[in-house]
Structure 1
Amino acid sequence: MIKKHEIYKTDKWNMMTVEVQGKYIVLREISDQWGEETHTFLSRPALMQWAQNRFPKDDFEGREEEWRTLMNSFKQV
């Protein structure tokens, strides 16, 4: 069974989804700038480490709530 989580979606060109496929966690990031990127993780801690590197808290200065919401979405996976 594949469980799909939507991390965020601003439109059909800017979104991120995570699918749990057995022991694998597959993240798909679609952006209008970079196209589609797929990352595969073997554990939730690896996913969280990637997320914190990809979305550094410092980049969200003045938008801390947005950052917390994003991290919570990853934690729900």
Structure 2
Amino acid sequence: MIKKHQIYKIDKWNMMTVEVNGTRFVLREISDQWGEECHEFLSRPALMHWAEERFRKDKYSGTEEEREAILKAFKEV
């Protein structure tokens, strides 16, 4: 059974979801700038490491509250 978790959704062109299938995590990032990017992780720690790097404080352009909400959503996957 595949469980789908929404990390964020701004509109139908800007969103991020994680599908959990057993021990496999498939992250889909859809952006109006880059199209769809897909990443596959074989463990939760690998997924969290990617998320923490992708949404680092010094690189994230949104607010700190948005950043914290995104990381919280990843932790709930």
Q: State if a TM-score over 0.5 links the two structures.
A: yes
State how far apart, in whole Å, the 2-side matches of 1:19 and 1:62 are: 24
8 A contact 1:17–1:27 mirrored in 2: yes
- CA shift for structure 1 position 59: 3.3
Percent identity between the two aligned chains = 69
TM-score (norm 1): 0.92
SS state of the match for residue 17, structure 1? strand
Which 5+ residue runs of structure 1 have no aligned equivalent? none
TM-score (norm 2): 0.92
Structure 1 residues 62 and 16: alpha-carbon distance in aligned structure 2, compared to 1, 3 A threshold: closer
The alignment of Structure 1 onto Structure 2 pairs a total of residues equal to 77
Structure 1 consecutive aligned stretches of length 4 or more whose deviation exceeds 6 Å: none
Once superposed, what is the RMSD of the aligned Cα atoms?
A: 1.5
Aligned to 1:43: 43
Aligned to 2:21: 21
8 A contact 1:60–1:66 mirrored in 2: no
Aligned to 1:69: 69
SS state of the match for residue 57, structure 1? coil
